[in-house]
């Protein structure tokens, strides 16, 4: 029986209050309005952003209850009036970074920060209302996506149609983690052949940075993390050496200068720690070194010595690895299907959505890169 135009009742993982854990609840998901798409989610995962929001008061807000999740893939269930780029039955990637195709960023070939991304700050759809209700109360959206629900509603501009043969339980990583790291190396830093790179933080995004550095032809990729359990996977995906800052009495930037002679060509901060950003920048070659901030840093000030820039170092930000949302996601899925990129190495665990709190604990151990949550 068709569900088009009807309210769908399904399971979702809701956070009811700041600092709370996930609660599996039955929610009602309204039909999509004009230029919106309702999606049956198939695969999603906890990204570092959700992990931070669960514990970091700087990232917590007053929009509760909320359905989080911004990394996922699914199948279009129905579309609202005026939707022309996807149809019911299409496989799609959910995107926290929209691509409206009309703003100055979308029209600039070197830019990807679509102005519509700011819609996510309201935690509502563009008409100022929610498509979710639970126990008679509206539930807030998250990151333009809300993938921790069996069904979700998104704007058409935040949905990328992909190859019908693509395995959603693999390619969902293109929604955030892989693209953000891999593109951070290739698009934002523009890593050069024969270069030396340092990657601070070896979660799923950090490992994807390593993959990007390797694909760009870097000859030396130094992985940096205080958890040695992550070193084996880092070497598996392309790191040439791994170091733990806690093994040295010197600051890590001095260690890297000792190892390389004059600093690394490219460094990547993939943790979201202001002190690590300063160390990553100081690890760069003094005249041509490039440091890219990929980790989420919100609500804090960076304390960086001005002399680090005097000789020519660069510090850059990066969102979604510099890819334009819809175009980039479709391209990367095609690259995966053509065996040009490897996503499988990043998926270490698999659970059903109702085990999401177990996935949180797995992520905390550092032994889990990505736990795919199946819906």
Tell me the per-residue pLDDT of 82-131, one tens digit each, with 9 for 90 and over. Answer: 999 999 999 999 999 999 999 999 999 999 999 999 888 889 999 999 99
Q: Which two tokens stand for residue 89?
A: 């039955």
The answer to whether residue 70 is catalytic is yes
CB 79, CB 88: distance < 8 Å: yes
Shared-domain flag, residues 244 and 329: no
Rounded Cα distance, 50 and 48, in Å: 6
Report if residue 3 sits inside a domain: no
Tell me the per-residue pLDDT of 173-222, one tens digit each, with 9 for 90 and over. Answer: 999 999 999 999 999 999 999 999 999 999 999 999 999 999 999 999 99
Shared-domain flag, residues 128 and 75: yes
Out of 317, 334, 361, a domain closes at 317
The answer to whether residue 100 is catalytic is yes
Shared-domain flag, residues 31 and 145: yes
Closest listed residue to residue 155, CA positions, set 107, 86, 71: 86
pLDDT above 70: residue 60: no
The answer to whether residue 47 is catalytic is yes
Residue 235 maps to which CATH number? 3.40.50.720
- Domain tally, the chain: 2
**Maximum Cα interatomic distance, the chain, rounded to a whole number of Å:** 68
Among the options 10, 11, 25, 103, which is catalytic? 103
Tell me the per-residue pLDDT of 235-247, one tens digit each, with 9 for 90 and over. Answer: 999 999 999 999 9
> What confidence tier does 52 reach under pLDDT thresholds 50, 70, 90?
confident
Report if residue 250 sits inside a domain: yes
The answer to whether residue 285 is catalytic is no
The answer to whether residue 53 is catalytic is no
Residue 19 structural domain? 8-177+322-374
Shared-domain flag, residues 71 and 164: yes
* 252-260 vs 274-282: helix crossing angle, rounded to 10: 20
Residue 328 maps to which CATH number? 3.90.180.10
CB 72, CB 160: distance < 8 Å: no
Report if residue 159 sits inside a domain: yes
Among the options 36, 40, 41, 50, which is catalytic? 50
The answer to whether residue 213 is catalytic is no
- On the CB side of 157, CA atoms within 13 Å amount to 19
Among the options 35, 52, 331, 349, which is catalytic? 52
Among the options 106, 125, 284, 291, which is catalytic? 106
The answer to whether residue 368 is catalytic is no
Torsion 137-142-145-150 (CA) sign: negative
The answer to whether residue 114 is catalytic is yes
């Amino acid at each position: 029986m068709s569900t088009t135009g009807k309210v769908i009742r399904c399971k979702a993982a809701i956070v009811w209050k700041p600092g709370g854990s996930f609660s599996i609840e039955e929610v009602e998901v309204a039909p999509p309005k004009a230029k919106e798409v309702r999606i049956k989610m198939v695969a999603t995962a906890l990204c570092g952003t959700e992990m931070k929001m669960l514990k970091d008061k700087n990232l917590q807000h007053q929009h509760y209850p909320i359905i989080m999740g911004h990394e996922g893939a699914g199948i279009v269930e129905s579309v609202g009036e005026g939707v022309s780029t996807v149809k019911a039955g299409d496989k799609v990637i959910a995107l926290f970074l929209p691509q409206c195709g009309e703003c100055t960023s979308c029209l600039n070939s070197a830019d990807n920060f679509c102005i519509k991304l700011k819609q996510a700050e309201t935690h509502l759809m563009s008409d100022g209302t929610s498509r979710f209700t639970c126990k008679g109360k509206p539930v807030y959206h998250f990151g333009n996506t809300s993938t921790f629900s069996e069904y979700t509603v998104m704007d058409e501009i935040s949905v990328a149609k992909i190859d019908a043969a693509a395995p959603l339980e693999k390619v969902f990583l293109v929604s955030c983690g892989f693209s953000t790291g891999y593109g951070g190396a290739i698009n934002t830093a523009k890593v050069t052949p024969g270069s030396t790179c340092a990657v601070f933080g070896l979660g799923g995004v950090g490992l994807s940075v390593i993959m990007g550095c390797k694909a760009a032809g870097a000859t030396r990729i130094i992985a940096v993390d205080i958890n040695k359990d992550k070193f084996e996977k880092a070497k598996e995906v392309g790191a040439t050496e791994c170091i733990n800052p806690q093994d040295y009495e010197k600051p890590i930037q001095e260690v890297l200068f000792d190892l390389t002679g004059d600093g690394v060509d490219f460094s990547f901060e993939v943790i979201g720690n202001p002190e690590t950003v300063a160390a990553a920048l100081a690890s760069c070659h003094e005249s041509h070194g490039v440091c890219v901030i990929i980790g989420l840093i919100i609500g804090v000030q960076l304390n960086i010595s001005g002399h680090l820039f005097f000789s020519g170092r660069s510090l850059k930000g990066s969102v979604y690895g510099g890819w334009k949302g819809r175009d980039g996601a479709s391209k990367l899925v095609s690259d995966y299907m053509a065996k040009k990129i490897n996503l499988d190495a990043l998926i270490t665990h698999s659970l059903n959505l109702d085990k999401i709190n177990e996935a949180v604990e797995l992520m905390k151990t550092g032994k889990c890169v990505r736990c795919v949550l199946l819906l």
